[in-house]
Amino acid sequence: MHKNYSPLLLAREYLENVKVNVIGGGIIIPLLKGFNFKEIRVIENPVEKKWLKKRLKGMDVVIGGYGHEEQKDAARAASELGMPFITYPVITTILPDGISFEEIEFPLFIDSTFDTISNTLIRTFQVIELIKLFTGIGEPYFPPNALELDFDRLTLDFKVKKIRLKVR
């Protein structure tokens, strides 16, 4: 490593060629713009299945959005195109040659909409996972390993838990 480079500067260099596709957009866009990605595309909800593969083509990674069904469709399309998919709200990185989205039993969430604080934290961890994946800084979580945010809305306290997902 060059003595004038910090790990963050090196990360920016690695990321400048990465094309990111995000399902749902929102707060994650300014988080992503803090890095030097080659391209950031947003696919707004609802995701149209018939156009999904065409929208993802030529990208390097897909970051999952809010709905389970939209994520399932996007994860399948990403896998068919040979790119990783980072899930939401439980965070794990699905590789095209690894365990598929359909094989994972994700925890059920009664309320699939998250408050601003929870959503911001989850989206931040997705960006961290993306950085780990493309820079080699840190170790990404691959199924069955994952991260889950445990946020107490009364005390405003949160914990990030390492969990093990059930795989069919």
- Whose CA is closest to 142, among 121, 122, 120, 164? 164
Q: What is the pLDDT of residue 7?
A: 63
* pLDDT per position as a tens digit, 88-120: 999 999 999 999 999 999 987 644 556 888 889
CATH 3.40.50.720 is right for the domain spanning 7-167 = yes
Q: How confident is the model at residue 1 (pLDDT cuts 50, 70, 90)?
A: very low
- Whose CA is closest to 139, among 79, 147, 106, 20? 147
pTM of the model: 0.90
Residue ranges per structural domain of the chain: 7-167
pLDDT at residue 10 tops 70: no
Cis bond upstream, residue 89 (ω within 30): yes
Residue 158 φ/ψ, nearest 5 degrees: -140, 155
pLDDT > 90 fraction of the chain, expressed in percent and rounded: 62
- Whose CA is closest to 42, among 60, 63, 70? 63
Whole-angstrom distance, CA of residue 74 vs CA of residue 48: 10
* pLDDT per position as a tens digit, 69-90: 889 999 999 999 999 999 999 9
> On the CB side of 27, how many CA atoms lie within 13 Å of its CA?
14
Whole-angstrom distance, CA of residue 69 vs CA of residue 164: 21
Q: How confident is the model at residue 28 (pLDDT cuts 50, 70, 90)?
A: very high
Q: What is the pLDDT of residue 8?
A: 63
